[in-house]
Structure 1
């Protein structure tokens, strides 16, 4: 392991949903494979590994998906109240073309057979497993100085047809993946005034919901800040 790699805590703090910071250079094949390997090592219910990863780099496909997403963005904006539409307007929601690489994460509910250990009473654990793979991918990418942007303004049927997903495999995410100039220190939705985060102390409960028992959050002021390694 390279000494200049980020710790997992540093990668978690540095990770951002990247939109406008892609350099335009493609992520190299070795780095891409390491990132996908990290995703494939995610935990999964019943060891079913219900994910598939479609790597998209064809400029025509990237542009087709970007145009589709742009249309969905307009639909969302037009459905907002005027004041929220004004806040939303400057927010960039994707970096599909700029990143140069898309990774479509698919979910196969039938992977692992009809008796998936641990999924009998909570069927959603299969989707949760695919999302854990995305989180692994995202943190590994951050440690490599590679940005990831999760695009969710699309019709699933359009995306499935665009990348040729077989019947039964559901698209979970389009991830824009590529080297970045920087990682923003403040998430875009906070910077543009859409929504701020809430403190950890409001999210942690003791024994029953609503009982916090915490007076202060752990300090993160001494965390080492490391610039993303260049690829």
Structure 2
């Protein structure tokens, strides 16, 4: 995909040892991205593709931890159906807690848990907030509270679950050169005011990550 390229790095707000990095290619109505996340306990690599209107088409994720490896291919087809393929090797325990199986649970798939979901949301990853922000135009305009259904991918398990989220935005601050987007996750009882740049990419995500470096290539 041709488009403007942004290379961005963040450091964890909740965990200063975690470093997130992504190369994002932005076209008029879609994006592709490649990224990594490095912490003291595991390393994650991922690739993301969207179609028109920034709707997720595919997310591939691999997690490499101490004693375990997990992989997930999560896809959304043109009819809005979500499917996953997942593998796991090694121990299924992290910090003395049993990890859920990776992928979409068969019961959730049968119950239509992801009906209406346009986006994936990878845990700890600031990039997956960009799609709903751009779809709403929240990086440029004031936006009333809008509800989305997400296919949320937990780390390090790579289990996929339904997540209902709310986005709204205050007017764009021309002088400061950024917008403030309010994000809420009802399933996790969490709300944060995200500072985003004109491309809809997160600058500061309180309690999660803050940007430390960016580079643009036309």
Is TM more than 0.5 here? no
- Choose between structure 1 and 2: higher strand proportion: 2
More relative contact order in 1 or in 2 (CA 8 Å, sep 6+)?
1
- Choose between structure 1 and 2: higher helix proportion: 1
- Find the structure with the greater CA-based Rg: 1
TM, length-normalised to structure 2: 0.30
TM, length-normalised to structure 1: 0.29
